[in-house]
């Protein structure tokens, strides 16, 4: 059974697909969804990262097969991003693989994706490890890689779920202030973190 959140998002994905198919930018007002009521859900959930679920529609006419592929791709992206984060913490491949498995098979992710079908949160959850990996790289004075990963991670979250973006940004600020207080972060590293804000 598909719950209300799932129906809303699947309808939204279908409308984005229909718009892109005819070369149009998706409308801010959603015409497809439960009850066929007009609503502004497109404004609440940015659609750029939703391409993970929408792209397969261009390859397969069967909508069910397309969404199953979308589920596969989002799990793959989530797993790879977590593996990348784990590799910044440990050089042990078994530890990195285990971290990816724990991240992708934990109950929060499974409930979000398969029970609630809260695709905005699922997409933000997939990009969160990139943001953390970028932050760690900056703390290790790896400027270019740190800014790149933090910018991609935060941009991915921003284009997925606004509440997750607010929470992640708040945590970045709080951790940075804490590191400033205990003098574990340099001014140049703070500047590098601030630079990523221009990519959002």
Q: Which pLDDT score is estimated for 34? A: 64
Say how many C-beta atoms besides its own lie within 10 A of residue 72's C-beta: 12
Q: What percent of the chain has pLDDT over 70?
A: 93
Q: Which pLDDT score is estimated for 92? A: 97
Q: Which two three-digit tokens encode residue 13?
A: 């994905």
Residues present in the chain in total: 200
Q: Which pLDDT score is estimated for 128? A: 97
Alpha-helical regions (H) of the chain: 4-21, 41-44, 51-54, 63-89, 93-105, 107-110, 119-139, 143-158, 162-181, 187-195
Q: Which domain holds residue 24?
A: 4-199
Instruction: Give Rg (Cα) of the chain.
Output: 18
- In this predicted structure, the answer to whether residue 180 has a pLDDT above a threshold of 90 is yes
Q: Which pLDDT score is estimated for 188? A: 95
Q: Give the pLDDT confidence of 145-159 residue by residue, as tens digits.
A: 999 999 999 999 999
Q: Give the pLDDT confidence of 13-59 residue by residue, as tens digits.
A: 888 898 899 998 887 777 776 665 656 666 778 888 999 999 999 99
Q: Which pLDDT score is estimated for 164? A: 95
Total structural domains within the chain: 1
Q: Which pLDDT score is estimated for 186? A: 94
Q: Give the pLDDT confidence of 74-125 residue by residue, as tens digits.
A: 999 999 999 999 999 999 999 999 999 999 999 999 999 998 889 999 999 9
């Amino acid at each position: 059974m598909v719950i209300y959140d799932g129906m809303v998002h699947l309808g939204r994905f279908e409308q984005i697909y229909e718009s892109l198919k005819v070369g149009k930018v998706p409308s801010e007002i959603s015409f497809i969804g439960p009850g066929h009521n007009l609503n502004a859900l497109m404004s609440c959930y940015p659609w750029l990262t939703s391409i993970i679920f929408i792209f397969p529609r261009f390859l397969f006419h069967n909508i069910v097969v397309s969404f199953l592929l979308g589920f596969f791709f989002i799990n793959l992206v989530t797993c790879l991003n977590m593996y990348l984060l784990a590799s910044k913490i440990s050089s042990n491949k078994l530890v990195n693989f285990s971290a990816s498995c724990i991240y992708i098979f934990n109950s929060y992710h499974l409930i979000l994706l398969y029970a609630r079908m809260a695709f905005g949160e699922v997409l933000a959850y997939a990009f969160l490890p990139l943001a953390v990996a970028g932050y760690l790289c900056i703390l290790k004075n790896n400027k270019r890689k740190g800014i790149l990963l933090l910018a991609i991670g935060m941009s991915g979250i921003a284009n997925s779920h606004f509440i997750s973006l607010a929470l992640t940004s708040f945590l970045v600020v709080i951790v940075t202030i804490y590191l400033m207080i205990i003098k574990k972060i340099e001014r140049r590293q703070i500047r590098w973190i601030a630079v990523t804000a221009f990519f959002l």
